[in-house]
């Protein structure tokens, strides 16, 4: 039997489990679904792509794969930046993008239940109509899914004050590696019955189970009043010192984002937002305390910016202006992708180490003759150096990889972690291996074997697996 005939037979058998033409095996579809947005992470061509429409279909596909010795790589919107959704040998890509219903919004209990394929912003819009707020807001909130956010424990722009996805996940429905469906967590304000398997699944990158529904807690939408403070700095280390000073002053902004000139120019050339020219680094901070408290905090922030080299410092309360500035931050990555392949970093260091880490990133760029653009959730030390290599320039790509590894090593030397929110996936396996103790890697492997003894779910991702349990 030829490979084409085998793929056709597989597609026919999967179509008996997932009706309505939701099994894809044509060349363009296999290519489209073979990788996420981590262009430099390895991938293969999957055997087939399944667009599941409910938890039962997910379970049926997983059972089929396990019984036929196949692998399953779960996928949301494919916006990941670490290769976590990349196809591996002998696998089925199982997409949850069609599972996009908000199943429940409960204002009384302050919670919502959403299928894994619900886009983050769509959930936020749905709960806002009920006077509620779902805080986690990754820069990709308009295209990333709640299931993917939970699988990577995604952060976001406001996480410096309000926390990351895992801080809001109360419970979930999960398909295990043998196809069994389990319900984890609780719907109450507190709940500590048994081991916290919900938290174990959050950030597990689809290696322990496939999240199909998520129950999240919500906050009131009212009671906040956004004020932005914008400052321009002559260098990355100067901006970093301002960030460290804000932390030292005990101020917890609702957001504090760093954007360098390369990012600003790329965004403005694309979207024509009218962003300021001749700016090296912009710090954009917000506070959301109402009334005089918020006004006082904004004034203190402006003073700290000025004391650490900031200039043209402005305060803004106009929602439209604030939205435009944050749009520049959110669109930095796709704007840079237009310039060439981007190798994305996701290191997180102690906030006091932000100035030194930014200096080291600059030094790596100069030492290896590569372009490194910088955006950052600066308020919590989560830095995203974006290394750009021209299309087809293999020498530049090799230098970029050296700079990438050097930045990871510098991050660890400064007491940081190799990934703050994008996940390990495939890109950060080497860094994770250096960060995690050998016994801790063995613990990871033991949990993986306990929940997925056949290695069916997203094999080779999330943690280095070279240690023998």
292 shares a domain with 165: no
250 shares a domain with 293: yes
> In this predicted structure, what is the pLDDT of residue 467?
43
In 140-209, DSSP assigns E strands to: 169-175, 181-185
pLDDT tens for residues 84-143?
999 999 999 999 999 999 999 999 999 999 999 999 999 999 999 999 999 999 999 999
pLDDT tens for residues 187-218?
999 999 999 999 999 999 999 999 999 999 99
> In this predicted structure, what is the pLDDT of residue 4?
62
126 shares a domain with 43: no
Q: Label residue 403 exposed, middle or buried (CB < 10 Å: 0-12, 13-18, 19+).
A: buried
Q: Say what percent of the chain tops pLDDT 90.
A: 89
3-state class of 118 per DSSP? coil
> In this predicted structure, what is the pLDDT of residue 288?
95
> In this predicted structure, what is the pLDDT of residue 132?
98
Looking up residue 214, the CATH number of its domain turns out to be 3.30.465.10
User: Is the model's pLDDT at 68 over the cut of 80?
Assistant: yes
Those residues with Cβ within 8 angstroms of residue 369's Cβ, 6 or more apart along the chain or in another chain: 396, 399
399 shares a domain with 277: yes
Q: Say what percent of the chain tops pLDDT 70.
A: 98
Residue 236, in any domain of the structure: yes
Residue 443, in any domain of the structure: no
Residue 377, in any domain of the structure: yes
pLDDT tens for residues 414-445?
999 999 999 999 999 999 999 999 999 999 99
What number is the average pLDDT over the span 7-15? 89
Residue 465, in any domain of the structure: no
355 shares a domain with 234: yes
What residue numbers bound the domain in which 393 lies?
Answer: 227-413
What number is the average pLDDT over the span 337-349? 91
> In this predicted structure, what is the pLDDT of residue 100?
98
pLDDT tens for residues 355-394?
999 999 999 999 999 999 999 999 999 999 999 988 889 9
Chain centroid, CA 368 distance in Å: 27
Residue 293, in any domain of the structure: yes
Number of domains in the chain: 3
Given 413, 431, 455, which residue is the final one in a domain?
Answer: 413
Token pair listed for 322: 């604030």
pLDDT tens for residues 253-270?
999 999 999 999 999 999
Given 220, 252, 270, which residue is the final one in a domain?
Answer: 220
Those residues with Cβ within 8 angstroms of residue 320's Cβ, 6 or more apart along the chain or in another chain: none
CA atoms within 13 A on the CB side of 447: 14
28 shares a domain with 64: yes
- Identify the band that residue 81 occupies on the pLDDT scale cut at 50, 70 and 90: very high
180 shares a domain with 139: yes
Mean predicted lDDT score pLDDT of the chain: 94
114 shares a domain with 91: no
Contact 136, 127 (CB under 8 A): no
Residue 437, in any domain of the structure: no
250 shares a domain with 179: no
pLDDT tens for residues 37-54?
997 899 999 999 999 999
3-state class of 427 per DSSP? coil
391 shares a domain with 252: yes
211 shares a domain with 73: no
> In this predicted structure, what is the pLDDT of residue 469?
36
Residue 419, in any domain of the structure: no
Given 79, 95, 111, which residue is the final one in a domain?
Answer: 95
394 shares a domain with 260: yes
Token pair listed for 132: 């509620």
Residue 114, in any domain of the structure: yes
Angle between helix 394-413 and 354-368 (nearest 10): 150
Pairing of strands 371-377, 382-388: antiparallel
3-state class of 333 per DSSP? helix
- Identify the band that residue 277 occupies on the pLDDT scale cut at 50, 70 and 90: confident
Looking up residue 336, the CATH number of its domain turns out to be 3.40.462.10
Q: Which of 342, 389, 347, 344 is nearest to 369 (CA)?
A: 389
């Amino acid at each position: 039997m030829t490979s084409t005939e085998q793929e056709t037979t597989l597609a026919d058998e999967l179509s008996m489990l997932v009706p309505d033409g939701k099994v894809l095996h044509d060349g363009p579809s296999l290519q489209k679904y073979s990788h996420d947005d981590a262009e430099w992470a390895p991938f293969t061509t999957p055997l087939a792509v399944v667009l599941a429409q409910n938890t039962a279909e997910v379970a049926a596909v997983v059972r089929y794969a396990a019984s036929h010795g196949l692998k399953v790589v779960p996928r949301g919107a494919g916006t990941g930046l670490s290769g976590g959704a990349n196809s591996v040998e002998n696998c089925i890509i199982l997409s949850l993008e069609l599972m996009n219903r908000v199943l429940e919004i409960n204002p009384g209990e302050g919670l919502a239940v959403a299928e894994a394929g619900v886009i983050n912003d769509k959930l936020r819009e749905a709960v806002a109509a009920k006077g509620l707020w779902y805080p986690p807001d990754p820069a990709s909130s308009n295209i990333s899914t709640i299931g993917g956010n939970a699988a990577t424990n995604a952060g976001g722009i406001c996480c410096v004050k309000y926390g990351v996805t895992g801080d809001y996940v109360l419970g979930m429905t999960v398909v295990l590696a043998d196809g069994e469906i389990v319900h984890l967590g609780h719907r109450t304000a507190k709940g500590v019955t048994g081991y916290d398997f919900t938290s174990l699944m959050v950030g597990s990158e689809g290696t322990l189970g496939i999240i199909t529904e998520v129950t999240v807690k919500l906050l009131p939408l009212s009671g906040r009043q956004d004020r932005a403070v914008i400052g321009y700095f002559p260098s990355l280390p100067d901006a970093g010192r301002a960030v460290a000073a804000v932390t030292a002053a005990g101020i917890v902004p609702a957001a504090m984002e760093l954007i360098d000139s390369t990012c600003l120019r790329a965004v403005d050339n694309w979207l024509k937002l009218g962003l300021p020219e001749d700016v090296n680094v912009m710090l954009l901070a917000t506070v959301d305390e109402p009334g005089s408290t918020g006004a006082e905090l904004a004034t203190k922030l402006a003073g700290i910016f000025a004391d650490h080299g900031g200039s043209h410092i402005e305060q803004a309360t106009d929602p439209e202006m604030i939205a435009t500035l944050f749009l520049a931050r959110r669109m930095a990555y796709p704007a840079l992708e237009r310039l060439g392949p981007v190798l994305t970093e996701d290191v997180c260091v102690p906030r006091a180490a932000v100035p030194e880490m930014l200096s080291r990133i600059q030094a790596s760029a100069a030492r290896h003759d590569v372009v490194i653009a910088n955006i950052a959730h600066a308020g919590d030390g989560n830095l995203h150096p974006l290394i750009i290599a021209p299309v087809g320039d293999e020498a530049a790509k090799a230098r970029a990889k050296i700079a990438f590894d050097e930045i990871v090593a510098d991050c660890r030397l400064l007491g940081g972690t190799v990934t703050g929110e994008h996940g390990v996936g495939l890109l950060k396996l080497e860094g994770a291996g250096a960060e995690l103790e050998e016994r801790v890697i063995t613990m990871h492997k033991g949990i993986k074997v306990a929940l997925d003894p056949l290695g069916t779910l997203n094999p080779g991702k999330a943690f280095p697996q070279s240690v023998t349990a």
